[in-house]
Amino acid sequence: MPVVTFKAGGADNCARVAGLPYVYIRTEAGGSVLPASCPHRGGPLNLGTPDPTGRRLVCPWHERGSSLSRLRRQVPAVRSGDTVTAVLPGPADADTELCHLPLSPALAAGA
């Protein structure tokens, strides 16, 4: 599993491992590194919004919610200042790159 350090917000706020993007988001429940693609149809979860309960992240493509607690468990991470270090799924030698993905206003607060 690759360990990657990237920005919590702004440029280079996304780490791609074997082509799969991960971003740091902020919700009322705190910050987390999550997959940026919806597990249902691959929609851009980085543009999603938390549901009114704050327990699910709603995909902007098909309005289906994904459990935030389940998504958080997939990626152990720690934030220090304006960077976050995460242990991302995949083989240790997987191709990794830093890039930028926009975040919805609801997920960028405090990033």
Mean pLDDT of 73-85: 93
- Start-to-end Cα distance in the chain: 25
User: What is the overall mean pLDDT for the chain?
Assistant: 90
Total H helices, total E strands in the chain: 2, 10
Tell me, which fold does domain 3-82 have in CATH?
Rieske Iron-sulfur Protein (2.102.10)
Q: Which residues of 26-40 are buried (b: 16+ CB within 10 A; e: fewer)?
A: bbeeebbbbbbbbee
Residues contacting 110, CB < 8 A, separation 6+: 26, 31
Model-level pTM? 0.89
Mean pLDDT of 79-88: 95
Identify the pLDDT of residue 109: 67
Sequence spans of domains, the chain:
3-82
